[in-house]
A and B are shown apart, each in its own frame.
Chain A
Amino acid sequence: DTGVSQDPRHKITKRGQNVTFRCDPISEHNRLYWYRQTLGQGPEFLTYFQNEAQLEKSRLLSDRFSAERPKGSFSTLEIQRTEQGDSAMYLCASSLSGSIDEQYFGPGTRLTVT
Chain B
Amino acid sequence: GDSVTQMEGPVTLSEEAFLTINCTYTATGYPSLFWYVQYPGEGLQLLLKATKADDKGSNKGFEATYRKETTSFHLEKGSVQVSDSAVYFCALSLSGGSNYKLTFGKGTLLTVNP
Contacts and interface: CB of A to CB of B under 8 A. Distances in A.
B102 A45 contact: yes
A107 interface: yes
Contacts of A48: 99, 101
Contacts of A93: 44, 102
Interface in B93-114: 93, 95-107
Given A91-B43, A105-B44, A105-B45, A42 B107 contact: yes
Kindly state the interface size class of chain B when it binds its partner.
Answer: 20 to 34
A85 interface: no
A56 B104 contact: no
Interface in A59-114: 91, 93, 95, 97, 100-108
Interface in B28-43: 32, 36, 42-43
A48 B97 CA distance: 12
A7 to B, nearest CB: 13
Given A91-B43, A106-B43, A108-B43, A40 B101 contact: no
Interface of B: 4, 32, 36, 42-46, 49, 51, 89, 91, 93, 95-107
Task: Give 5 nearest A-B pairs by CB, closest first.
Answer: A42-B104, A101-B100, A105-B44, A107-B43, A45-B101
Given A41-B106, A106-B43, 7 more contacts: A31-B98, A33-B101, A42-B105, A97-B98, A100-B93, A102-B49, A105-B44
